[in-house]
């Protein structure tokens, strides 16, 4: 599933493709949304935002197109006369002055006004976005210390979108490794230094991943590894999908365990309880 950094990059690409343009034609795959096809033609797209894993395409008539890619959603950006040949189900197509943005397979799409956005059952519960510049380590520390989150396992808190928006499984594994924390710890067990390192890592690692299209490993090390022949997938992570390979810090073999349906990757030495 794409996480905050991947969705933000998609939002940037969608923005580059359609923002500032007027919609010539818009197509919705779902019957309940067909009514919008006529009403949104001729409307200008102002900007595209991401909130955690949600994308909002803002229109100049006050409405927004809400989309959540989930696991299977795929955006394609192309010229309007060059739609790709695919068996995927087209759920949303926006044609604006010869440029098109197509969303395949995603099922969570809606057209919402400001009131509906502010009371939206998912959006209204989202915590501060890890990629928003206004989100600081101080905010994250306050949340880690709050009663709502301080007595739960870090493994479940980090991917709870109400704690912070945008973290998924690869970021969780990488953040916990970098911070030297076991997935089962509770934040109330962490001293001042550890809680600060965790909060800063949540922000810094997510932002590096956004800027580098997914590298959470030490950037200089990842670049060196790729120069020496490693693939991007081999070089990008500290622990994620590296089970059986040596930890870059201590040499122990990285392990993999299932945690609430997600594979958890960790170093048994660096992340002792």
The answer to whether the Cα torsion of 126, 130, 134, 136 is positive or negative is: positive
Judged by CB under 5 A, which stretch of 42-50, 62-70, 73-81, 262-270 contacts Zn ion? 262-270
| # residues near Zn ion by CB under 5 A | 7
Q: What gap in Å lies between CA 51 and CA 16, rounded to an integer?
A: 18
- Report the residue number, 141 or 267, with the smaller CB distance to Zn ion: 267
Interface with Zn ion in residues 38-67 (CB under 5 A): none
- What's phi and psi for 76, nearest 5 deg? -130, 135
Least Cβ distance, residue 268 to Zn ion (angstroms): 8
- Report the residue number, 24 or 255, with the smaller CB distance to Zn ion: 255
Helix (H) or strand (E) holding 8, with range, is helix 4-18
Q: What gap in Å lies between CA 144 and CA 100, rounded to an integer?
A: 42
Least Cβ distance, residue 272 to Zn ion (angstroms): 10
| Residue 177, C-beta contacts closer than 8 angstroms, at least 6 positions apart | 238, 239, 265, 266, 267, 270, 271
The two tokens of residue 63 are 């409405």
- What's phi and psi for 123, nearest 5 deg? -60, -40
Helix (H) or strand (E) holding 258, with range, is strand 255-259
Q: What gap in Å lies between CA 66 and CA 63, rounded to an integer?
A: 10
Interface with Zn ion in residues 219-258 (CB under 5 A): 247, 249-250, 252
- Report the residue number, 210 or 237, with the smaller CB distance to Zn ion: 237
Judged by CB under 5 A, which stretch of 58-66, 141-149, 184-192, 261-269 contacts Zn ion? 261-269
The answer to whether the Cα torsion of 161, 165, 168, 171 is positive or negative is: negative
- Report the residue number, 78 or 245, with the smaller CB distance to Zn ion: 245
Q: Which residue is nearest to Zn ion (CB)?
A: 247
Least Cβ distance, residue 178 to Zn ion (angstroms): 11
Least Cβ distance, residue 191 to Zn ion (angstroms): 21
- Report the residue number, 29 or 180, with the smaller CB distance to Zn ion: 180
- What's phi and psi for 206, nearest 5 deg? -65, -40
Q: Estimate the crossing angle of helix 137-145 against helix 192-212, to 10 degrees.
A: 130
- What's phi and psi for 230, nearest 5 deg? -70, 150
Least Cβ distance, residue 252 to Zn ion (angstroms): 5
- Report the residue number, 51 or 242, with the smaller CB distance to Zn ion: 242
Longest dimension (CA), the chain: 61
Judged by CB under 5 A, which stretch of 98-106, 145-153, 161-169, 259-267 contacts Zn ion? 259-267
DSSP 124: G
- Report the residue number, 44 or 249, with the smaller CB distance to Zn ion: 249
Q: Is residue 270 a contact point for Zn ion (CB under 5 A)?
A: yes
Least Cβ distance, residue 136 to Zn ion (angstroms): 29
- Report the residue number, 170 or 178, with the smaller CB distance to Zn ion: 178
Site residues (vs Zn ion, CB under 5 A): 247, 249-250, 252, 267, 269-270
């Amino acid at each position: 599933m794409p996480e905050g950094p991947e969705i933000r990059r998609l939002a940037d690409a969608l923005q580059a493709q359609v923002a500032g343009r007027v919609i010539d034609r818009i197509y919705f795959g779902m019957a309940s949304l067909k009514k919008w096809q006529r009403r949104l033609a001729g409307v200008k797209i102002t900007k595209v935002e991401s909130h955690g894993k949600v994308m909002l395409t803002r229109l100049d008539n006050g409405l927004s197109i809400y989309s959540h890619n989930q696991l299977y959603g795929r955006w394609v950006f192309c010229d309007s006369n060059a739609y790709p040949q695919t068996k995927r189900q087209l759920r949303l197509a926006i044609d604006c002055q010869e440029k098109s943005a197509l969303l395949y397979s995603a099922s969570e799409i809606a057209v919402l006004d400001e009131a509906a956005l502010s009371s939206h059952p998912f959006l209204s519960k989202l915590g501060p976005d890890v990629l928003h510049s206004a989100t600081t380590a101080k905010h994250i520390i306050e949340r880690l210390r709050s009663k709502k989150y301080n007595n739960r396992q870090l493994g479940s808190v980090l991917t709870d979108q109400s704690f912070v928006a945008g973290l998924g499984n690869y970021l969780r594994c990488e953040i916990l490794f970098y911070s030297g924390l076991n997935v089962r710890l509770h934040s109330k067990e962490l001293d001042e230094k550890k809680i600060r390192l965790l909060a800063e890592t949540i922000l810094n690692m997510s932002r590096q991943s956004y800027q580098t299209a997914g590298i959470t490993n030490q950037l200089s090390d990842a670049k060196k590894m790729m120069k020496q022949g490693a693939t991007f997938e081999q070089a990008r992570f500290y622990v994620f999908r590296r089970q059986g390979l040596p930890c870059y810090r201590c040499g122990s073999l990285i392990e993999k365990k299932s945690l609430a349906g997600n594979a958890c990757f960790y170093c048994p030495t660096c992340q002792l309880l």
